[in-house]
A and B are shown apart, each in its own frame.
Chain A
Amino acid sequence: MNRSRVIVVQIGLLVFSAVMAFSQEDPESVSAMLGPRGEGLIIARCAVCHSADLITQQRLSRTRWEATIEKMKHWGAEISDQEADLLIRYLSARYHPNAPANVPPLSHEIGKSEPLKQEPQAQRPVIGVAARGAGVFEHNCQACHGGGAMGGMGPRLAKNPILKLDVLFRETVLYGRGPMPAWSSVLSEQDIADVHEWLLTR
């Protein structure tokens, strides 16, 4: 190979790596940006079967995070493709192979997670639709509160006095309580009203 060809190749490589570096997401900013949503998803989508510490102690490459989430979906994790994409980006930015052993633990603090959609503050009260609520319940609540909301690992919600206390119900669902996940980063106000309405019919 002659000298000028070598130089051309070298310049090419330089340009290529500069472009790559530019387009690559900086893990720290990705993890800060996706943090609230990602943490919310872990609690809402994953903590049904195991506590979040099993997830946050891993230090995995993106491929292995992808494979892990695929396995969890296969086993019954209720997570949409879009949520899974976001969670994989978040996990591989925060819990990657070179991350320190003690990444600060997930914050379970109330109200930390961003609301799902920036809905304009409701002009009128949100009206729940029971028929939609059945689906919301099945995908998000049934694993813990049992079929027909008759109770399981979580308390029975059918005929539960809390259903009469609208504000308390909404806040318990939004922010979680004890082992009960916070749903603020996954469910909209409408979803919560729908599931509330459906529970009232049980």
Chain B
Amino acid sequence: MKGSGELAKFSRRRWLKTLLGFGAGLAMHPAKFLAWAADMTPARDESTLTVRVSRPFDAETPVRAFTSFLTPNDHFFVRSHFGPPSAETIGESQWTLHVGGAVERSNEFTMESLKQFEPVTITAVLQCSGNGRAYHRPKAPGVQWERGAVGNAQWTGVRLRDVLQAAGVRAEARHVMFQGADRPVVATVPLFVRSIPLEKALHPDTLLAYEMNGRPLPLLHGAPLRVITPGWMAESCIKWLTHIEVREDEASGYFMQTAYRVPVKSEQKDTGRTDNATAPVEVMPVKSLISSPEDGQAVMAGGVRIKGVAWAGETRIAKVEISIDEGNTWQTAQLVGDDRLYAWRQWQFLWQATVQGTFAIVCRATDERGHVQPAATSWNPSGFLWNGWDRVTVRVHPHE
């Protein structure tokens, strides 16, 4: 095969750059991408991301990158259901956005016609519902994300509300469904289709974003257009968006009716199925992470600066606390930097590490509505919404 030689020459680093980079990724055909991704093995040192699944590509950000307020595009976690679609559907000259369903006038937009709406920029956390799945017990099936399937970016786009109002939402409308251009390898696999309630869709902060951190949306992050539902988990933030349908009911299909749902009542059985009523995963629960020091790091006795981030869906962070004794006593950290709804809040704490030895540093956040991050999140069959206390272990060495 002619392509394979070319592929081998292309270094893994360059590959990631192309796909995560600045919109230039469209040059690569998805067939090549698939063939290539299959060859990738998890490589911690070579890339800036920790690969969890090589095809379709799922990779998380090492938490040390969270010492910066914005997560750079090429360090941002990637979650793919089927991987990027072919250039034929999302290339600049072919791509269109169709708006239909329970509206007065169906509409078809090109990128140019979409950009006639007022541009808006919002800084918001994007987090996979499965972030932290690896910590649920019993273990739940799915990508075994640890701490880094989350990031904070600046999203620029137009308001979904403006687009819907231009089409005229009819009185019976209750939900808005999104579909992207990505397709499974085998056609019998259900499409990745999701819907959100009309109220969230009409919220002035819900965007159709074409830029990420001031750059055109990279291919792996949904070029040319994706949904951003600030404060909500990322499965509503459909990538490679091509279709919007206003509906009376929730979208049907596996990814809306079975996956990305949690039982309304908590359960402990591990039967692989649930008989309880379930509800879609929506708002992000309060959560914090320690970005420095790193887990397993050695630190010098004396003042140790502990840093991290905390976020809370549709509300703000009120408090972050640190414990060095497994949660028996807590000390309040200092909130620093930008304070914006939907973005994460940075925090720091100066720990006087006087005793040498090994210590677990634990943090928890409280939001403005009084929700406190729990020691461990209640179990659910798919391992969603983990927000247990974050923990790193450090060794304190004496001064020489």
Binding site for B on A (CB under 8 A): 47-51, 53-54, 57-61, 63-64, 66-68, 75-76, 97, 143-144, 152-155, 178-179
B189 CB contacts on chain A under 8 angstroms: 49, 75-76
List residues of B (1-42) whose CB comes within 8 Å of A's CBs: 1, 3-4, 31, 34-39, 42
Q: How far is the CA of A144 from the CA of B305 in the complex (A)?
A: 52
Can you give 22 A-B contacts (C-beta < 8 A)? A49-B184, A51-B38, A51-B53, A53-B53, A53-B54, A54-B53, A54-B143, A58-B144, A60-B141, A64-B272, A67-B272, A75-B186, A75-B188, A76-B188, A76-B189, A97-B138, A153-B31, A178-B4, A178-B35, A179-B34, A179-B36, A179-B38
User: In the complex, what residue of chain A is closest to B37 when comparing beta carbons?
Assistant: A51
Q: Which residue of A lies closest to B40 (CB)?
A: A51
Interface residues on B, range: 20 to 34
Taking the closest CB of chain B, its distance from the CB of A78, in whole angstroms, is 9
Query: Which residue on chain A has the smallest CB distance to residue B189?
Result: A75
Q: How far is the CA of A3 from the CA of B273 in the complex (A)?
A: 44
Secondary structure class of chain A's binding surface, majority of residues:
loop
Is the pair A48, B52 in contact by a Cβ cutoff of 8 Å? no
Residue in B51, B187, B188 with the greatest tally of chain A CB atoms within 10 Å: B188
Residues of B near A48 (CB, < 8 A) are 185-186
Q: Which of B52, B56, B270, B272 has the most CB of A within 10 A?
A: B272
| Interface pairs A-B: 6 shortest CB-CB | A76-B188, A179-B38, A67-B272, A51-B55, A64-B272, A51-B54
Measured CB to CB, the nearest residue on chain A to B81 is A50
CB neighbours (8 Å) of B39 from chain A are 178-179
Residues of B whose CB lies within 8 Å of any CB of A are: 1, 3-4, 31, 34-39, 42, 51-56, 58, 138-139, 141, 143-144, 184-190, 270-273
Judging by beta carbons under 8 Å apart, are B141 and A144 in contact? no
Distance between Cα atoms of A23 and B311 in the complex (Å)? 51
Contact B185 A144 (CB under 8 A): yes
Q: Which residues of A contact B55 (CB under 8 A)?
A: 50-51, 179
Give chain B residues whose Cβ lies under 8 Å from the Cβ of A179: 34-36, 38-39, 55
Question: Are A49's CB and B35's CB within 8 A?
Answer: no
Most chain B CB within a 10 A radius of its CB, from A47, A57, A75, A155: A57
Residues of B within 8 A of A154 (CB): 35
- With A and B bound together, what is the CA distance between A193 and B185 in angstroms? 26
Question: Among B36, B42, B189, which residue has the most Cβ atoms of chain A within 10 A?
Answer: B189
Q: A53-B53, A66-B272 are in contact. Are A60 and B139 (CB under 8 A)?
A: yes
The docked-state distance in angstroms from the alpha carbon of A57 to that of B3 is: 30
Q: How far apart are the CA atoms of A50 and B188 in the complex, in Å?
A: 14
Residues of B within 8 A of A76 (CB): 186-189
> CB-CB < 8 A to A68: which residues of B?
141, 272
Q: Is the CB of A58 within 8 A of B141?
A: yes
CB nearest to B254 among chain A residues: A75
A12 to B58, CA, bound (A): 52
Chain B residues with CB under 8 A of A97: 138-139
Task: Give the docked Cα–Cα distance between A143 and B38 (Å).
Answer: 15
Which residues of the partner chain A approach B185 to less than 8 Å between Cβ atoms?
Answer: 48-49, 143-144, 152-153
B36, B55, B270: residue with the most chain A Cβ atoms closer than 10 Å: B55
Judging by beta carbons under 8 Å apart, are B190 and A75 in contact?
yes
Q: Is the CB of B38 within 8 A of A178?
A: yes
Q: What separation, in Å, do the CA atoms of A60 and B382 have in the docked complex?
A: 12
